[in-house]
Amino acid sequence: MAELEGDVAIEIRDLWKAFGPNQVMAGLDLDIIRGETLVILGRSGVGKSVLLKHIIGILRPDRGSVKVNGELICQLKGKELYKAIMDMGMLFQGAALFDSMTVSQNVGFYLREHGGHTKAEIQDLVDHALEMVGLSGTQDKLPSDLSGGMRKRAGLARLIVYRPKFLLYDEPTTGLDPITAMQINELIVQTQEELKATSIVVTHDAVSALFVGDRLALHENGKIAHIEKAEAFMKIDHPTIQFLKRTMTEDPRVFRSEMGHD
């Protein structure tokens, strides 16, 4: 395991979670360092989204603990849970926007809900967030008027507008063309720098993982099987990691012929 530098912002200990007979978490331990961007990789269905939902407190462990800023998020209720959640922003897989609200209303949603800002302040913050994600001028459009990549970016704007201390991204580049994916990667790094946040990025995209990640983790069999700084991670002799590495450097036709196709 990689040496830890800095203080632990999120501490997960012996996390167990089953859905019926499906044991998804099986004693998972993970420390996330304040200010880092941690990338979580793993096969589909392994439980990456479930892990993120435990961190933001919308799923409760069967056993074990999840601490955020030293607080047991897994035991908070009501107002206290709401307060803790307001420190966190999550870009959900699929980046669901509210279909009936304009882009501007979507991005300002949490600010309006949270109170404490005038209408004019909210509009300024919304405009700034939209500018950051390159969506100036879309304020009055509906989500259905946007492309998939634009919707992702609007989802990102809704996240960064209230400057959360923790940013969680569930597959932010999935389904995007490589250029748009790279814009999202850049935004993740830019946001991290601007907000000095702690970020967790779940992805299947090796380019994205190496672009945004300080450390990379492999989620497997209900646990974190490996966690290392990016360079050391890519050297780990594990079939999934070596495959990911090869997808970036080799002509996909090499795989094609190795799999017996000509």
Question: Under the rule (CB under 6 A), what is the footprint of ligand ATP?
Answer: 19, 22, 24, 42, 44-50, 93
- Contact between residue 8 and residue 19 where contact means Cβ atoms under 8 Å apart: no
Nearer to ligand ATP, 4 or 18 (CB): 18
User: What is the rounded distance in angstroms from the CA atom of residue 206 to the CA atom of residue 68?
Assistant: 27
Residue 22 binds which of Mg ion, ligand ATP, none (CB < 5-8 A, kind-dependent): ligand ATP
- Pull the structure tokens for residue 76: 């908070």
User: What is the rounded distance in angstroms from the CA atom of residue 93 to the CA atom of residue 170?
Assistant: 5
Q: How far is the CB of 93 from Mg ion (least distance, A)?
A: 5
Nearer to Mg ion, 25 or 126 (CB): 25
Q: Which residue is nearest to Mg ion (CB)?
A: 49
Nearer to ligand ATP, 91 or 103 (CB): 91
Nearer to ligand ATP, 54 or 151 (CB): 54
Q: How far is the CB of 61 from Mg ion (least distance, A)?
A: 18
- DSSP per-residue string spanning 94-157: T----TTS-HHHHHTHHHHHH--S-HHHHHHHHHHHHHHTT-TT-TT--GGGS-HHHHHHHHHH
Q: How far is the CB of 253 from ligand ATP (least distance, A)?
A: 26
Q: How far is the CB of 202 from Mg ion (least distance, A)?
A: 6
